[in-house]
Amino acid sequence: MSSAYHRKKQPERVRSQLLEVAARLSLEQGIAALTLDAVSQAAGVSKGGLLHHFPNKLALLDGLFDELVARFDRAIEEAMAADKVEKGRFTRAYLTVCFALDQGAEGQGWQALTIALIAEPHLKARWRAWVARRAAEFATTDSSPDCLLARFAADGVWLADLIRSHELDASTRAAMLEKLKALSLA
Amino acid sequence: MSSAYHRKKQPERVRSQLLEVAARLSLEQGIAALTLDAVSQAAGVSKGGLLHHFPNKLALLDGLFDELVARFDRAIEEAMAADKVEKGRFTRAYLTVCFALDQGAEGQGWQALTIALIAEPHLKARWRAWVARRAAEFATTDSSPDCLLARFAADGVWLADLIRSHELDASTRAAMLEKLKALSLA
DNA sequence: TTAAAGATACCGTCTGGACGGTTTGTCAAG
DNA sequence: CTTGACAAACCGTCCAGACGGTATCTTTAA
């Protein structure tokens, strides 16, 4: 009787819909409210349908993580392509992306990622792996203490965005970004 | 039959024991594993005993939060007392405390706080209040963009400690700390 | 060309266990 | 003997995941 039986099948569409909904819910209600029932219902899919795409809850979180990290990587890649200077290029891209994270519709998803990231030991390990890979990749251009410090500061700003602990006006943010970018060249 | 019936009653001892265990568990197993059963059992207390001290789970988290923020405040107060220069004094104290957080036995508790902080919307609001209070309190000495940036960087380092995403050697850490302290005077 | 034969994409229900919280009972201290 | 500090059994709810089914797509072979 349900419509999904009869509508055209579009597995990857449903899959991404599920991820999107999962991100939204974990942001709005907190990670604890992320139940399979809630996700499937909000996505207009039955629970069985959800479990067809993701065999268990952990797999759903993993999928969420992979998706968002992939976006993060793409954004960084993009920012790096627009940067001619080799030295500190990765760091500047990282800064740019981090500062822009909470802007736009995509920002919401990032926040959900972070929350899960810090709360879940499992995802914590995967993020660690990402950092290690990137650090090794750009060891020759971005391993200076100043670059590292700049990236840490970006993390701090991003954390503040996440918690909404500081109200920053745009000009202050812009000034900070410039200052940190300068640091990546020092 | 259980020993707690016969041992000397020491309510505040049991209470702090419960908080300590709660902090440890949420760190080791993630916030999701923080169940009343697990906490009470690990603390060698019955569930009823736990609920005698904290009427519900939220009260337990609040107690944890209060305890840890109080420690944080004391540590900052201490660091400020040892600083003669007025300008940026709060920021330097914040830096010192943040950089020292994961050292020593106390560090574990802080990490648990953070996790709960970001995951729980309720605690997020309380932390926001703390930040706002402190910011207002030291508006005249620590409100410059440089001070703010230094504190954000400290948050980033602290986050890295929390996730264990970066392996920093002691000398690099020390250099960073000095650099940020200098920023608080600029 | 087409129709059988899987394979894939779902639906809807059920269950076993976990978990927050309650209640009642017990012991010890003042 | 009263009150605070627990213990222990219990309850209602919620949730992850299993399961058995149905509809649509793809392949294949006559």
Which chain A residues touch B164 with a CB distance below 8 Å?
A: 124, 128
Give the pLDDT confidence score for residue A51 in this predicted structure. 93
Task: Give the residue with greater pLDDT, A47 vs B101.
Answer: A47
- Does A165 contact B128 at a Cβ distance shorter than 8 Å? yes
pLDDT in tens, B117-174: 777 778 888 899 999 999 999 999 999 999 999 999 999 999 998 888 998 889 999 9
A43 pLDDT more than 60: yes
Give the pLDDT confidence score for residue B113 in this predicted structure. 72
Q: DSSP for chain A?
A: --HHHHSPP-HHHHHHHHHHHHHHHHHHH-GGG--HHHHHHHTT--HHHHHHHSSSHHHHHHHHHHHHHHHHHHHHHHHHHT----TTHHHHHHHHHHHHTTSTTHHHHHHHHHHHHHH-HHHHHHHHHHHHHHHHHTHHHH-SHHHHHHHHHHHHHHHHHHHT-----HHHHHHHHHHHHHHTT-
Average pLDDT, chain B: 87
B39 pLDDT more than 80: yes
Tell me the CATH number of domain B7-183, given options 1.10.357.10, 1.10.579.10, 3.60.15.10, 3.40.1080.10. 1.10.357.10
Residue with tokens 């139940």: A35
- Mean pLDDT of the region A152-167: 92
Are A30 and A74 in contact, with CB atoms under 8 Å apart?
A: no
Q: DSSP for B136-180?
A: HHTHHHH-SHHHHHHHHHHHHHHHHHHHT-----HHHHHHHHHHH
- Mean pLDDT of the region A23-38: 82
The residues spanned by each domain of chain A are 8-55, 64-186
Tell me the C-alpha distance between B175 and A148, whole Å. Answer: 12
Nearest CA in chain A to B136: A166
% of chain A residues with pLDDT over 90: 51
How far apart are the CA of A42 and the nearest CA of chain B, in angstroms?
A: 21
Give the pLDDT confidence score for residue A11 in this predicted structure. 75
**A69 vs B: CB within 8 A:** no
Interatomic CA–C1' length for residue B15 and nucleotide D3, angstroms: 19
Task: Give the residue with greater pLDDT, B1 vs B181.
Answer: B181
**Closest nucleotide to B11, Cα to C1':** D5
Interatomic CA–C1' length for residue A8 and nucleotide C11, angstroms: 15
pTM as predicted = 0.86
B7 pLDDT more than 80: no
pLDDT in tens, A85-143: 999 999 999 999 999 887 766 766 677 677 777 777 788 888 999 999 999 999 999 99
pLDDT in tens, A48-62: 899 999 999 989 988
Give the pLDDT confidence score for residue A31 in this predicted structure. 73
Q: DSSP for B67-131?
A: HHHHHHHHHHHHHHHT----TTHHHHHHHHHHHHTTSTTHHHHHHHHHHHHHH-HHHHHHHHHHH
Give the pLDDT confidence score for residue A2 in this predicted structure. 36
**Is there contact between B124 and strand C, defined as CB under 7 Å from any strand atom?**
no
Which chain B residues touch A31 with a CB distance below 8 Å?
A: 31-32, 119
Which amino acid is located at B163 in the chain? I
Question: Which conformational region is residue B37 in: left (phi greater than 0), alpha (psi within -120 to 50 degrees), or beta?
Answer: alpha
Q: Which CATH superfamily is domain A8-55 in?
A: Homeodomain-like (1.10.10.60)
Give the pLDDT confidence score for residue B2 in this predicted structure. 42
Both tokens assigned to A53: 């795409």
Tell me the C-alpha distance between A73 and A66, whole Å. Answer: 10
pLDDT-based confidence at residue B104 (cuts at 50, 70, 90): low
- Does B131 contact A162 at a Cβ distance shorter than 8 Å? no
Give the pLDDT confidence score for residue A27 in this predicted structure. 76
- Mean pLDDT of the region A146-164: 94
Give the pLDDT confidence score for residue A123 in this predicted structure. 84
3-state secondary structure of A139: helix
Dihedrals φ, ψ of A84, to 5°?
-85, -30
Give the pLDDT confidence score for residue A171 in this predicted structure. 94
- Does B155 contact A151 at a Cβ distance shorter than 8 Å? no
**Closest nucleotide to A32, Cα to C1':** D15
- Mean pLDDT of the region B43-67: 91
**Closest nucleotide to B35, Cα to C1':** C19
What angle is formed at CA B36 by the lines to CA B33 and CA B41, rounded to 5 degrees? Answer: 90
The shortest CB-CB distance from B131 to any of A162, A165, A179 is to A165
Give the pLDDT confidence score for residue A8 in this predicted structure. 56
Give the pLDDT confidence score for residue A32 in this predicted structure. 74
pLDDT-based confidence at residue B8 (cuts at 50, 70, 90): low
Dihedrals φ, ψ of A21, to 5°?
-65, -40
Tell me the C-alpha distance between B42 and B38, whole Å. Answer: 6
**B119 vs A: CB within 8 A:** yes
- Does A118 contact B118 at a Cβ distance shorter than 8 Å? yes
- Mean pLDDT of the region B97-123: 75
Q: How far apart are the first and last CA of chain A?
A: 65
Tell me the C-alpha distance between B44 and B31, whole Å. Answer: 20
Give the pLDDT confidence score for residue B1 in this predicted structure. 40
B68 pLDDT more than 80: yes
Tell me the C-alpha distance between B111 and A124, whole Å. Answer: 13
- Does B119 contact A114 at a Cβ distance shorter than 8 Å? no
Tell me the C-alpha distance between B16 and B61, whole Å. Answer: 13
Give the pLDDT confidence score for residue A25 in this predicted structure. 85
**B174 vs A: CB within 8 A:** no
Interatomic CA–C1' length for residue A59 and nucleotide D27, angstroms: 30
Question: Which conformational region is residue A88 in: left (phi greater than 0), alpha (psi within -120 to 50 degrees), or beta?
Answer: left
Find and give the residue nearest to D24, measured CA to C1': A9
